[in-house]
């Protein structure tokens, strides 16, 4: 593996490796950028076919966290950790305790959180050996489920888009098609319904779609056709790469704004949306509410402060939309430019 070449291509940074023979821990902590503060980002605990795949995952994800934290105005850099899930039998508590000791050795340079394959109980184990962890139980000063905060931020980003694109100051009567009503999608529907929006939803799990129908009067759409529903806002809240060569041509909306990560299958799809005159809310900008909430835990958790900070996503999104219009540049590029300006302002 060409490690240093790869670090340079992601504009790194530092990477730490830990092997703990006693527990079988094989962990990677990737710190992409810490100019704005200690790196913050989740810990993945999944199977990887190769060590190279694990390193690549950590590098790619940590870089994304730098952009997300900077745009959300947080005093954090971007980091991510990966624990390669052992193939043989392992002691989960011992493994996460060893991981916590690893973080302690890094002296607060990286603060971890939940991600795919990890949960509250793992964070509690890590907490027993280091304070450089978030996403712990609310009874221990933790911030709890991030999804309602993510949904709140997405609602604010939608409000900004509706004001900018449609000239409406309220969501009353605005039709939003929500793809995926899991954790974030459900709370987003709750926010939108309370604001007077009309909803069409689709989910692989019919029970989740039915719940949105029951609680928010949502119409149920097809999982294969939700992106084609004629609406004011299409909100992807399921998996990534939903905006691609197959879907963009059939969108019948003027705004795409949702919670899903990595919505653009490739960056050029952001150009395609721009060319079609569809306002795209860059995913990492609009879905930062959960990160804002978790970052508050590092300072001392206060739900009201986290809420106030999340509401400001409106201003960030409006700045992106306005700059995009002024420069004739696609919104995803404008968001990246804003981050690069912020990082350049703090210097090397
Ligand atoms: P989730 O797994 O709880 O919900 C996703 C839902 O999408 C599920 O109900 C699933 O059945 C449904 N789904 C999957 N494929 C679908 C398809 N093709 N069509 C319709 N529905 C489909 O996940 P979540 O926590 O709600 O996260 C949703 C997205 O938002 C993810 O991309 C996640 O990375 C991103 N995100 C979440 C948070 C958070 O706070 N949870 C924060 C930032 C970004």
pLDDT for 348 beyond 90: no
- Its sign, for the CA torsion 10, 240, 136, 102, is negative
Distance 102 CA to ligand 1 centre (A): 31
Examine residue 118 and state whether it is found in any structural domain, yes or no: yes
* pLDDT classification of 347: cutoffs 50, 70, 90: confident
Distance 238 CA to ligand 1 centre (A): 4
What is the average pLDDT across 36-59? 95
185 pocket-lining for ligand 1 (C-beta < 6 Å): yes
**Is 82 in contact with 118 (CB distance < 8 Å)?**
no
Q: Are residues 123 and 154 in the same domain?
A: no
225 pocket-lining for ligand 1 (C-beta < 6 Å): no
Q: Are residues 117 and 46 in the same domain?
A: yes
Q: Are residues 108 and 248 in the same domain?
A: no
pLDDT for 3 beyond 90: no
Examine residue 106 and state whether it is found in any structural domain, yes or no: yes
pLDDT, position 10? 83
260 pocket-lining for ligand 1 (C-beta < 6 Å): yes
What is the average pLDDT across 4-10? 86
Q: Which atom of ligand 1 is nearest to the CA of 184?
A: 26
Closest residue to atom 4 of ligand 1, CA basis: 182
pLDDT, position 315? 98
The mean pLDDT value of the chain amounts to 96
Give the per-residue SS3 of 128-144.
CCCCCECCCCHHHCCCC
Q: Are residues 217 and 94 in the same domain?
A: no
| pLDDT tens, position by position, 306-342 | 999 999 999 999 999 999 999 999 999 999 999 999 9
Q: Are residues 261 and 323 in the same domain?
A: yes
Mutate to test the pocket of ligand 1, among 259, 288, 291 (most ligand atoms within 8 A of CB): 259
64 pocket-lining for ligand 1 (C-beta < 6 Å): no
196-224 b/e (C-beta count within 10 Å ≥ 16 → b): ebbbbbbbeeeebbebbbeebebebbebe
Pairing relationship of beta strands 255-256 and 279-280 according to DSSP bridges = parallel
| Three-class secondary structure of residue 345 per DSSP | helix
Q: Are residues 22 and 51 in the same domain?
A: yes
Q: Are residues 87 and 171 in the same domain?
A: no
* pLDDT classification of 187: cutoffs 50, 70, 90: very high
CA 85, CA 238: separation in Å to the nearest integer? 25
What is the average pLDDT across 207-230? 98
Q: Are residues 217 and 334 in the same domain?
A: yes
Distance 128 CA to ligand 1 centre (A): 30
* Site of tokens 């690549």: 56
Q: Are residues 55 and 158 in the same domain?
A: no
Beta bridge partners of 31: 14, 79
CA 252, CA 230: separation in Å to the nearest integer? 5
Closest residue to atom 31 of ligand 1, CA basis: 260
Q: Are residues 276 and 170 in the same domain?
A: yes
Residue 143 neighbours by CB distance under 10 Å: 24
pLDDT for 159 beyond 80: yes
CA 205, CA 182: separation in Å to the nearest integer? 9
310 pocket-lining for ligand 1 (C-beta < 6 Å): no
| DSSP secondary structure, 261-290, as one string | SS-BSSTHHHHHHHHTT-EE--HHHHTTHH
Examine residue 188 and state whether it is found in any structural domain, yes or no: yes
Closest residue to atom 18 of ligand 1, CA basis: 223
pLDDT, position 110? 98
274 sits in the region (left: phi over 0; alpha: psi -120 to 50; else beta) called alpha
Domain of residue 25: give its range. Answer: 3-59+77-133
* pLDDT classification of 5: cutoffs 50, 70, 90: confident
* pLDDT classification of 133: cutoffs 50, 70, 90: very high
CA 63, CA 30: separation in Å to the nearest integer? 9
Q: Are residues 327 and 201 in the same domain?
A: yes
Beta bridge partners of 113: 42
Share of residues in the chain with pLDDT > 70 (%)? 100
Share of residues in the chain with pLDDT > 90 (%)? 93
CA 90, CA 268: separation in Å to the nearest integer? 43
Centroid of chain to Cα 261: 5
**Is 263 in contact with 163 (CB distance < 8 Å)?**
no
* pLDDT classification of 1: cutoffs 50, 70, 90: confident
Mutate to test the pocket of ligand 1, among 148, 155, 183 (most ligand atoms within 8 A of CB): 183
* pLDDT classification of 61: cutoffs 50, 70, 90: very high
Q: Are residues 85 and 175 in the same domain?
A: no
* pLDDT classification of 9: cutoffs 50, 70, 90: confident
| pLDDT tens, position by position, 293-309 | 999 999 999 999 999 99
Examine residue 305 and state whether it is found in any structural domain, yes or no: no
118 Cβ partners below 8 Å, 6+ apart? 42, 43, 44, 45
| pLDDT tens, position by position, 66-116 | 999 999 999 999 999 999 999 999 999 999 999 999 999 999 999 999 998
Q: What is the tally of structural domains in the chain?
A: 2
pLDDT, position 117? 93
Helix (H) or strand (E) holding 14: strand 14-20
CA 19, CA 246: separation in Å to the nearest integer? 43
237 pocket-lining for ligand 1 (C-beta < 6 Å): yes
What are residue 319's phi and psi, to 5 degrees?
A: -60, -40
| pLDDT tens, position by position, 261-290 | 999 999 999 999 999 999 999 999 999 999
What is the average pLDDT across 22-29? 97
Examine residue 319 and state whether it is found in any structural domain, yes or no: yes
106-118 b/e (C-beta count within 10 Å ≥ 16 → b): beebbbbbbbeeb
Examine residue 295 and state whether it is found in any structural domain, yes or no: no
pLDDT, position 177? 98
Examine residue 300 and state whether it is found in any structural domain, yes or no: no
179 pocket-lining for ligand 1 (C-beta < 6 Å): yes
167 Cβ partners below 8 Å, 6+ apart? none
223 pocket-lining for ligand 1 (C-beta < 6 Å): yes
CA 22, CA 233: separation in Å to the nearest integer? 52
CA 159, CA 132: separation in Å to the nearest integer? 35
| pLDDT tens, position by position, 237-250 | 998 999 999 999 99
pLDDT for 24 beyond 90: yes
**Is 142 in contact with 135 (CB distance < 8 Å)?**
yes
pLDDT, position 239? 86
Q: Which residues are catalytic?
A: 80
Question: What's 220's domain CATH number?
Answer: 3.40.50.720
Examine residue 64 and state whether it is found in any structural domain, yes or no: no
Closest residue to atom 20 of ligand 1, CA basis: 203
Distance 147 CA to ligand 1 centre (A): 10
Question: What's 47's domain CATH number?
Answer: 3.40.50.10860
Distance 203 CA to ligand 1 centre (A): 9
């Amino acid at each position: 593996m060409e490690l240093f070449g790869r670090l340079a291509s992601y504009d790194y940074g530092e990477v730490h490796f830990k092997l703990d023979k006693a527990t079988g821990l094989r962990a990677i902590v990737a710190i992409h950028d810490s100019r704005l503060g200690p790196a913050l980002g989740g810990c993945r605990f999944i199977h990887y076919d190769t060590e190279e795949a694990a390193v690549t995952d950590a590098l790619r994800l940590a870089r994304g966290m730098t952009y997300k934290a900077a745009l959300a105005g947080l005093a954090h850099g971007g980091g991510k950790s990966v624990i390669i899930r052992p193939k043989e039998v392992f002691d989960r508590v011992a493994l996460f305790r060893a991981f916590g000791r690893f973080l302690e050795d890094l002296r607060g340079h990286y603060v971890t959180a939940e991600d795919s394959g990890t949960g509250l109980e793992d964070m509690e184990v890590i907490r027993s050996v280091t304070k450089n962890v978030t996403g712990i139980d609310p009874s221990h000063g933790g911030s709890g489920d991030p999804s309602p905060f993510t949904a709140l931020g997405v609602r604010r980003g939608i409000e900004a888009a509706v004001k900018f694109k449609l000239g409406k100051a309220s969501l009353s009567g605005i039709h939003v098609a929500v793809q995926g009503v899991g954790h974030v999608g459900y709370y987003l529907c709750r926010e939108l319904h309370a604001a007077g929006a009309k909803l069409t939803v689709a989910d692989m799990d019919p029970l989740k779609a039915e719940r949105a129908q029951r609680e928010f009067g949502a119409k149920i759409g097809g999982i294969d056709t939700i992106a084609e529903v004629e609406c004011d806002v299409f909100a992807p809240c399921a998996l990534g790469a939903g905006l691609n060569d197959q879907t963009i041509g059939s969108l019948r909306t003027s705004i795409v704004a949702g919670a899903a990560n990595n919505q653009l299958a490739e960056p050029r799809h952001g150009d395609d949306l721009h060319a079609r005159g569809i306002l795209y809310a860059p995913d990492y900008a609009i879905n930062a509410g959960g990160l804002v909430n978790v970052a508050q835990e590092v300072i001392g958790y206060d739900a009201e402060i986290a809420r106030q900070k999340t509401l400001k996503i409106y201003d960030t999104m409006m700045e992106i939309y306005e700059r995009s219009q002024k420069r004739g540049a696609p919104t995803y590029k404008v968001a990246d430019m804003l981050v690069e300006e912020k990082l350049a302002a703090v210097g090397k």
